[in-house]
Structure 1
Amino acid sequence: MDGHPSRKTVLRAALAAGVSTPAALMGVPALARTVSGTTNGPAPELTPTCDDGDDPTPPQMEGPYFKPNSPRRTSLLEPGTPGVRLTVTGYVFGLACRPLGGVLLDFWQADVNGAYDNAGFRFRGHQFTGGGGAFTLTTIVPGLYPGRTRHLHVKVQAPGRPVLTTQLYFPGEPRNNTDALFDPRLLMTVRDAGGAREAAFDFVLDVPQTPGPGPTPPPGGTTWTVGTAYRPGDRVTYGGAAYACLQGHTAQPGWEPPSAPALWRVG
């Protein structure tokens, strides 16, 4: 990593802020997860980029504990649930890096003691992404049980498409080195958050998409230039409006100031 925000980081920031996804960003490669915020150990290898011809998020075995017909909910917590609170957020994309709405995500996991509820539906639940492709899961950090490292199970299915069954992992876990199923491409980004933990992971599904249009030529009154290394505080104009740089980066197509609120502030 060269210290510049990735296009995926810009896209996440725009979606999180409620800004319309820039058309210029919709057809460019994106990381299936970001690595900023990883707190334990060296940064793992990145998942395959989201682009035509690349592999989607890797599948993994279902395991013996899946149960169909889980309740629809975004929180798996119940009153008095023990364990360290965990919030997982992310997006679901197709092969052209465009967000997918209406995607089913069905999660299941062990409790704090490493046990699965096979009689009921504790720590089991499904949800659907909204139009922007986002999801949020509120749960706990799962416990350990013999033979496995710490992990979450999930099935992901876009409407009318095959099911992706996979598992998500935590960085810095000692058992990552001994679990035969562990795949570093499925590591979440995890950080501490005041006694709780926050994680992020973005799924890329094998769903064909048409890339969005490329950037259109800017209107008059523009000093912003592709290839320029901007520093925080630098000022440019774009289409007659003034912008101040928020994060150091080298300008690229798709990062025009109106399309990159994580990088530029109006005024």
Structure 2
Amino acid sequence: MTQDQHPTLRRRSLLASLGAAGLAAAAPAAQAAAPKLPLTAATTEGPYYFDALKVRSDVTEGLEGVPLEVRFAVLDVNGKPLPGLRVDIWHCDAQGRYSGYDGQGDDRGLSMQGKTFLRGSQPTAHDGGAVFSTIYPGWYAGRTTHIHFKVRNGTRAVLTSQFFLPDALSEFLYTQLPQYRRASLRDTLNSNDGIALQAGGTTIGAVREEGKQYVATLTLVVDPAARPAIDRPPVPGGRPPHGAGMPDMPGPGRPQALQGSARTAALIPSARR
């Protein structure tokens, strides 16, 4: 009796072919049902943006501060890397001052016009990665610790946002290291910064020690076809460089710096219970 004539063998062959067909049909359905990644939240363009026309990985320009490497992974909502986009970053120095603007420093008396420190752009690699060497940012009144970033597809910005660093680490650096120490206590933390609270979890960077530096990583999920409106609030005094955006400096009514156990509870998530 041949294999085709044997009833048991014929049944096994039929079941195998049906199983293979079922798996082939199920694969596209499973792919279609796979959950999409949430888009990274946009925020105001924030303090002091301008295109410094600096395509570079190292943005420090010799400034003192704790070394920080910022690693972005730029993906679409399906988790596919997006090579060939452009990522910009900009942030303040260890004393809370931005390059390119007047009115910097605690007394608003310093001019940083003509300077381009802590600004730069990188193209995303084949894996969607973009890496910057910088320093850990300082702080200024009314804002928690943050780094601004922008993702461009050609000349069009598809995402403008900020990401936020761990309060406990920031507090340690600001109180223990002379480059960061200030006459006043930081008044705004992640837990009471309106922009950070509105942006939510997609803008919280993960930070770890690696060798003699900290490494901050953040996955950016973007729509490469997006055409979002960019929020550019007015500059609080002084003129920005030509083509610059506007800062998000808050006005009167800024929060008072927390003290004692209330501050500890705000700095350390487990202590908030």
TM tier, shorter chain?
0.5 to 0.7
Taking a change above 3 Å as real, the CA distance of residues 162 and 198 of structure 1, as seen in their structure-2 partners, is closer
- The match for 2:11 is none
Deviation at 1:199, TM superposition (A): 1.1
Q: How far, CA to CA, are the matches of 1:168 and 1:131 in structure 2?
A: 23
Contact 1:70–1:121, Cα closer than 8 Å, also in 2: no
Q: Deviations over 1:136-174 (max 9, x none)?
A: 111001001100111000111234764210001112357
The answer for the alignment partner of 2:17 in structure 1 is none
Aligned residues: 161
Separation in 1, partners of 2:164, 2:152: 20
After the TM superposition, which residues 169-248 of structure 1 pair with which residues of structure 2 at under 5 Å, given as runs?
169-173=164-168, 175-182=189-196, 183-185=199-201, 186-207=203-224
Pairing 1:9-20 to 2, within 5 Å after superposition: none
Q: Indicate if the aligned counterparts of 1:161 and 1:207 stay in contact, CA closer than 8 A.
A: no
Task: For 2:35 and 2:156, locate their aligned partners in 1 and report how far apart those are by CA, in whole Å.
Answer: 18
For residue 161 of structure 2, what is the amino acid of its counterpart? T
Alignment of 1:72-221 (within 5 A): 72-79=55-62, 81-118=63-100, 119=113, 120-159=115-154, 162-173=157-168, 175-182=189-196, 183-185=199-201, 186-207=203-224
Q: Is the 8 A contact 1:28 1:96 kept in 2?
A: no
1:97-143 C-alpha deviation (Å, 9 max, x unpaired): 11001111011000010000122211111110112211111100100
TM-score where L is the length of structure 2: 0.54
User: In the aligned structure 2, how far is the partner of 1:70 from the partner of 1:162?
Assistant: 15
More strand per residue: 1 or 2?
A: 1
Q: RMSD of the TM alignment (CA)?
A: 2.5
Distance 1:101 1:179, change over 3 A: same
Q: Which has the higher helix share?
A: 2
For residues 60 and 102 of structure 1, the distance between their equivalents in structure 2, rounded to whole angstroms, comes to 23
Secondary structure in 2 aligned to 1:62?
Answer: coil
**Contact 1:105/1:127 (<8 A) preserved:** yes
Deviation at 1:195, TM superposition (A): 4.5
Identity %: 32
Residue 62 (structure 1) aligned to one of 25, 45, 57: 45
In our comparison, the structure showing a higher alpha carbon Rg is: 2
- In structure 2, the residue matched to 1:256 is none
Query: 2: CA distance between counterparts of 1:73 and 1:57?
Result: 24
Distance 1:64 1:196 in 2: 26
What one-letter code is carried by the residue in structure 2 that aligns with 1:158?
N
Q: Gaps spanning 5+ residues in structure 1: where? A: 1-23, 30-49, 209-267
Indicate conservation of the 8 Å contact 2:92/2:137, yes or no: yes
Gaps of 5+ in 2: 1-26, 101-112, 172-188, 226-273
Q: Distance in 1 between matches of 2:87 and 2:143?
A: 22
Q: Which amino acid aligns with 2:204?
A: L
Paired amino acid for 2:95? N
Contact 1:61 1:165 in 2 (8 A): yes
> In the aligned structure 2, how far is the partner of 1:170 from the partner of 1:28?
34
